[in-house]
Amino acid sequence: MGWGDLGVFGEPSKETPNLDVMAAQGMLFPNFYTANPLCSPSRAALLTGRLPVRNGFYTTNAHARNAYTPQEIVGGISQDEILLPELLKKKDYVSKIIGKWHLGHRSQYLPLKHGFDEWFGSPNCHFGPYNNSVRPNIPVYNNSEMTGRYYEEFEINVKTGESNLTQIYLKEGLDFISQQATAQRPFFLYWAPDATHSPVYASERFLGKSQRGRYGDAVMELDDSIGQILAHLVSLGIHNNTLVFFTSDNGAAVMSGAHQSGSNGPFLCGKETTFEGGMREPAIAWWPGRIPAGTGINFCPGQEVPGVTTHTQEEHTMQPLIFHLGQDPGERYPISVQSEEYRDVHRQVTAVVEQHQKDLIPGMPQLNMCDLAVMNWSPPGCELLGKCLKAPESNPWKCVWPH
């Protein structure tokens, strides 16, 4: 989702009433940034608190470091990384992830090996459908074993956009909260649906309801789900002891075509770019009684800026593009390199970069190698379901990242 998808940030159709109320009752972060404009490295940073270049979620195969974890990726989150649920476990928290993981799909990289106690969801995004001979459909896990596959047991109709997945994820979340509240155990719920990721989907009750097409339908369903989660916390009487944080892994995709693309408001471009539209995310913190209410708004179609939004990777290290985001949030007017303002800011930025480079200890890159043999052919639990598939012979290659 993008910064401009929320009514509180000015989206004109005002189809996110629950998120807008959440912002009014809590703290809105208009200048919240992700660590990367792609899903996998962003999520790795969120759960480790470390930049992708430190936690290994980057590639050295190309000039830019951006990469993610498709089915054929060999690597995943390192055993050396300490994830948030591992820290919380020391304080007796029970942790569950619901939805997309995306930090590696091979068994050693899955959530229950990295601090989570429970999981219902998938290791990858819901791309497909595939014919299971050249490429398998993505499995859906219930804890440590698969319980089916997308487009098979868990249906997604690409043509109509109908799928009940968000409702399934919502029920899993509400049930988990109820169980922990009844047991009076502290808990961490990482609720990560991916309905707004292309191919966008929504359940029957929401299809066709939005003025913004199918993408808007998905946003409306996610907004409704978040409203139900907050209301559930209130009904259980634990809302004053529960911090809820809403955000996105990267800016909305603006290259996915009609009904599949979101909005990044006034900001340039979106997902897969390091412009504001790709890096600045909607973010809201909600904790009644602790956070005061009302605290704290091609890849660039139609937004081309000459010399800036180039379609080749340009080297700007020696003379970086610098924008004044307070005056130019759309990043359309680079500050002149000949101005005193540019020289002053460049000196400040250079000092920060040099300190970062001095202190940096890069993690081993996990996103360099690909291999068709490591795809989701035979996930744990496939034997019981009769869903195991024959993998091709291993033939690793260096992944190609065009982003």
Catalytic residue among 39, 269, 370, 382: 39
Asked whether residue 342 is assigned to any structural domain, the reply reads: no
Asked whether residue 163 is assigned to any structural domain, the reply reads: yes
Give Cα 4 distance to the centre of its chain: 16
Percent of the chain with pLDDT over 70: 97
Residue 296 has pLDDT above 80, yes or no: no
Distances (CA, A) of 341 to 337, 338, 347, 348, 403: 9, 9, 10, 11, 31
Sign of the CA dihedral with 290 first, then 292, 296, and 297 last: positive
User: Rounded mean pLDDT of 99-105?
Assistant: 97
Write the DSSP symbol of residue 48. Answer: H
User: Rounded mean pLDDT of 175-204?
Assistant: 97
pTM attached to this predicted model: 0.85
Burial of residue 354 (CB within 10 Å: 0-12, 13-18, 19+) is exposed
**CATH code assigned at 90:** 3.40.720.10
Asked whether residue 329 is assigned to any structural domain, the reply reads: no
The answer to whether residues 66 and 58 touch, using CB atoms and an 8 Å cutoff, is yes
Entry field: residues in the chain: 403
Asked whether residue 336 is assigned to any structural domain, the reply reads: no
Write the DSSP symbol of residue 84. Answer: H
Q: Which pLDDT band holds residue 256 (cuts at 50, 70, 90)?
A: confident
CB atoms within 10 A of CB 102: 27
Asked whether residue 341 is assigned to any structural domain, the reply reads: no
Asked whether residue 31 is assigned to any structural domain, the reply reads: yes
| Mean pLDDT, all residues of the chain | 93
pLDDT of residue 297: 41
Beta bridge pairs of residue 149: 139
Pairing of strands 118-122, 94-100: parallel
SS3 162: strand
Active site residue 399: no
Between residues 353 and 401, which one has the greater pLDDT?
A: 353
Domain count of the fold of the chain: 1
**Structural tokens at position 173:** 């979340």
Question: Which of 80-84, 150-154, 330-334 has the lowest average pLDDT?
Answer: 330-334
Write the DSSP symbol of residue 211. Answer: T
pLDDT of residue 258: 79
Residue 114 has pLDDT above 80, yes or no: yes
Asked whether residue 266 is assigned to any structural domain, the reply reads: yes
Between residues 318 and 45, which one has the greater pLDDT?
A: 45
d(CA 231, CA 221): 15
Between residues 279 and 316, which one has the greater pLDDT?
A: 279
d(CA 122, CA 138): 7
Interval 375-396: pLDDT, tens:
999 999 999 999 999 999 999 9
pLDDT of residue 311: 57
pLDDT of residue 101: 98
User: Rounded mean pLDDT of 363-382?
Assistant: 95
pLDDT of residue 304: 72
Residue 245 has pLDDT above 80, yes or no: yes
Q: Is residue 213 within a helix (H) or strand (E), and if so which, with residue range? A: helix 213-235
User: Rounded mean pLDDT of 47-67?
Assistant: 91
Active site residue 102: yes
Closest to 170 measured CA to CA, from 215, 124, 229: 229
Question: Which of 50-64, 100-114, 251-265, 291-305 has the lowest average pLDDT?
Answer: 291-305
Provide DSSP, 290-310. Answer: TSPTTB----STT---TTTS-
Helix residue ranges per DSSP H, 5-126:
17-25, 39-48, 52-55, 84-89
pLDDT of residue 313: 60
Pairing of strands 94-100, 187-192: parallel
User: Rounded mean pLDDT of 182-208?
Assistant: 97
SS3 241: helix
Interval 116-175: pLDDT, tens:
999 999 999 999 999 988 999 999 999 999 999 999 999 999 999 999 999 999 999 999
Asked whether residue 337 is assigned to any structural domain, the reply reads: no
Catalytic residue among 102, 114, 126, 232: 102
d(CA 156, CA 194): 12
Question: Which of 30-34, 188-192, 236-240 has the lowest average pLDDT?
Answer: 30-34
Between residues 62 and 27, which one has the greater pLDDT?
A: 27
**Structural tokens at position 234:** 């209130």
Domain that holds residue 260: 3-309+364-398
Interval 259-279: pLDDT, tens:
889 999 999 999 999 999 999
